[in-house]
């Protein structure tokens, strides 16, 4: 093996050769570098080549084009490049349903009976008809519909009073084939029937007062569907015909199908009664749900038995004869302890196939009478009375059917 001195001499010769090659061009430098590699390999002097190559680069020379034979550290396999996470596209702007016309910004202002009549006749989608505090004597009807995106709004304070003048005849306010209306805030009084809907759907009754009515206060009839009555106060009904003095009446009795629906069931379906105060002095049921109707919601209402008459078997807060109703979160009270109120809520089978699949949950009923909290007629199927209902002072017990854990 060569001595350290001999190796150093050879490295010096290689360096001088490279300096000479720099002046003569890259080809000669390449030949010299290959020769240096051969010499280094023979002498196991890989450091000589590394030193020579580094010297060449530091002197400004280009790296030789042919470096395949140069001694160099082994090439490391590069770490695989991570696949970038896919870019999440921006979430699409959610598509929302049509927005109802806001109640701010009156487009039509009304302060007289004649003005209200004209406004109803000329109503257009998107209009907001504002009632001034006044008494509007007469019976009023709307026949023009709004749209799902542009409701027609009739709004006013409780001191804007639609007075029918006679609780033996007429409708206080009639939505006759008129859909997508909002009735807000005002009062209806002194007519045979308070607010009536016929073939009128997707309407809202909100915060209205209905009182001093000859028969029922609010009636969804003749295929009137998807309507909501909420936050409304109903008192003093049935002044002329107590057995027809319901607070809220949904559908039609089968004996009236020939009159209103061509003999077919009155499918006034999917109507909702929410957070209303019904009573005192509602002389029939606070809420009467007729056979032929399906899928409504009765929730959050305050039901007062004071003044119930018992006429035509009006002896409960709610009488359910339709199918598939959810009746929940209602409060029933009987402050006068009248035994005319027999049961809290009743289910009847008026005709075969009806009075089925109704669910009662989270209701709070202080019956103060001789019957049940919930009474279900034999033959009604699919009735669910949940254990989460609270029934007090019902002498016969919570229900005449088994309870269900809900």
| Helix then strand then coil, % of the chain, to nearest 5 | 20, 30, 55
Pick 26 or 214 by higher pLDDT. 214
Q: How confident is the model at residue 196 (pLDDT cuts 50, 70, 90)?
A: very high
Whether 325 and 231 share a structural domain: yes
Q: How far apart are CA 307 and CA 236, in angstroms?
A: 9
Residue 272 has pLDDT above 70, yes or no: yes
Pick 171 or 42 by higher pLDDT. 171
Within a domain: 404: no
pLDDT of residue 56: 32
Whether 52 and 116 share a structural domain: no
Give kind and range of the element (H or E) at residue 347.
Answer: strand 345-347
pLDDT tens column, 23-49: 444 444 444 334 433 433 433 333 333
Residue-number span of the structural domain to which 144 is assigned: 108-399
Residue 225 has pLDDT above 70, yes or no: yes
Within a domain: 72: no
Q: How far apart are CA 359 and CA 380, in angstroms?
A: 12
Pick 47 or 290 by higher pLDDT. 290
- pLDDT more than 70, % of the chain: 74
Whether 179 and 271 share a structural domain: yes
- Residue closest to 271 by CA, chosen among 302, 230, 238, 243: 230
Residue 348 has pLDDT above 90, yes or no: yes
Q: How far apart are CA 267 and CA 287, in angstroms?
A: 17
Whether 187 and 128 share a structural domain: yes
Q: Tell me what the mean pLDDT of segment 189-211 comes to.
A: 98
Q: Tell me what the mean pLDDT of segment 229-241 comes to.
A: 98
Within a domain: 342: yes
Whether 138 and 41 share a structural domain: no
Within a domain: 251: yes
Cross-strand pairs, 319? 288, 346
Residue 18 has pLDDT above 80, yes or no: no
Asked whether the beta carbons of 309 and 281 are under 8 A apart, the reply is no
Within a domain: 65: no
Within a domain: 28: yes
Q: How confident is the model at residue 80 (pLDDT cuts 50, 70, 90)?
A: very low
Whether 54 and 120 share a structural domain: no
Q: Domain with 204 in it: what CATH number?
A: 2.160.20.10
Give kind and range of the element (H or E) at residue 52.
Answer: helix 46-58
Q: How far apart are CA 265 and CA 249, in angstroms?
A: 15
Residue 305 has pLDDT above 50, yes or no: yes
Within a domain: 71: no
pLDDT of residue 296: 98
pLDDT tens column, 61-74: 433 333 333 333 33
Q: Tell me what the mean pLDDT of segment 244-271 comes to.
A: 98
Whether 18 and 156 share a structural domain: no
Single out the residue in 19, 35, 58 at which a domain terminates: 58
Q: How confident is the model at residue 351 (pLDDT cuts 50, 70, 90)?
A: very high
pLDDT of residue 126: 97
Q: How far apart are CA 198 and CA 261, in angstroms?
A: 10
- 238 CB neighbour count, 10 Å cutoff: 26
Pick 28 or 182 by higher pLDDT. 182
pLDDT of residue 388: 98
pLDDT of residue 63: 37
Q: How confident is the model at residue 190 (pLDDT cuts 50, 70, 90)?
A: very high
Residue 279 has pLDDT above 80, yes or no: yes
Residue 54 has pLDDT above 80, yes or no: no
pLDDT of residue 104: 60
Q: How far apart are CA 194 and CA 171, in angstroms?
A: 6
Q: For residue 308, what is the DSSP state?
A: -
Average pLDDT of the chain to the nearest whole number: 83
pLDDT tens column, 81-139: 333 333 333 333 333 333 344 446 999 999 999 999 999 999 999 999 999 999 999 99
pTM, 2 dp: 0.76
Whether 31 and 168 share a structural domain: no
pLDDT of residue 64: 36
Residue 214 has pLDDT above 70, yes or no: yes
Q: How far apart are CA 369 and CA 348, in angstroms?
A: 20
Q: How far apart are CA 78 and CA 383, in angstroms?
A: 71
Q: How far apart are CA 251 and CA 71, in angstroms?
A: 98
- Residue closest to 278 by CA, chosen among 301, 299, 260, 311: 301
Whether 14 and 157 share a structural domain: no
Asked whether the beta carbons of 284 and 244 are under 8 A apart, the reply is yes
Q: Tell me what the mean pLDDT of segment 308-332 comes to.
A: 97
- Provide the number of structural domains found in the chain: 2
Within a domain: 91: no
Whether 19 and 158 share a structural domain: no
Whether 348 and 225 share a structural domain: yes
Q: How confident is the model at residue 75 (pLDDT cuts 50, 70, 90)?
A: very low
- Which residues in 297-316 are b (16+ Cβ under 10 Å) and which e? ebbbbebbbebbbbbeebbb
Whether 290 and 380 share a structural domain: yes
């Amino acid at each position: 093996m060569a001595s350290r001195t001999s190796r150093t001499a050879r490295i010096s010769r290689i360096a001088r050769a490279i300096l000479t090659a720099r002046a003569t061009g890259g080809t000669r430098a390449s030949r010299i570098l290959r020769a240096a590699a051969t010499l280094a390999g023979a002498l196991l002097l890989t450091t000589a080549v590394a030193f020579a190559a580094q010297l060449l680069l530091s002197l400004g020379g280009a790296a030789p084009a042919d470096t395949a034979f140069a001694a160099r550290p082994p090439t490391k396999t590069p770490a695989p490049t991570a696949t970038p996470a896919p870019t999440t596209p921006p979430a699409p702007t959610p598509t929302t349903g049509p927005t109802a016309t806001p109640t701010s910004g009156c487009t039509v202002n009304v302060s007289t009976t004649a003005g209200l009549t004209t406004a109803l006749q000329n109503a257009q989608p998107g209009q907001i008809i504002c009632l001034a505090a006044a008494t509007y004597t007469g019976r009023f009807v709307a026949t023009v519909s709004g749209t799902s995106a542009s409701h027609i709004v009739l709004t006013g304070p409780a001191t804007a009073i639609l007075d029918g003048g006679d609780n033996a005849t007429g409708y206080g306010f009639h939505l006759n084939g008129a859909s997508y209306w909002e009735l807000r805030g005002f009062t209806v009084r002194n007519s045979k029937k308070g607010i009536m809907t016929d073939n009128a759907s997707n309407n809202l009754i909100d915060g209205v007062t209905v009182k001093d009515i000859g028969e029922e206060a609010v009636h969804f009839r003749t295929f009137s569907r998807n309507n909501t009555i909420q936050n409304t106060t109903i008192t003093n009904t049935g002044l002329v015909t107590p057995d027809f003095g319901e607070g809220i009446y949904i559908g039609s009795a089968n004996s009236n199908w020939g009159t209103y629906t061509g003999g077919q069931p009155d499918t006034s379906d999917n109507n909702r009664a929410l957070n209303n105060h019904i009573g005192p002095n509602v002389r029939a049921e606070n809420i009467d749900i007729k056979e032929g109707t399906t899928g409504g919601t009765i929730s959050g209402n305050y039901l007062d038995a004071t003044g119930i008459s018992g006429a035509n078997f009006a002896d409960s807060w709610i009488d359910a004869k339709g199918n598939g109703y959810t009746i929940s979160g209602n409060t029933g009270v009987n402050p006068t302890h009248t035994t005319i109120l027999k049961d809290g809520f009743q289910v009847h089978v008026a005709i075969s196939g009806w009075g089925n699949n109704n669910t009662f949950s989270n209701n709070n009923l202080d019956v103060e009478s001789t019957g049940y909290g919930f009474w279900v007629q034999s033959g009604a199927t699919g009735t669910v009375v949940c254990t989460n209902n609270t029934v007090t002072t019902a002498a016969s017990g919570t229900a005449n059917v088994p309870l269900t854990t809900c």
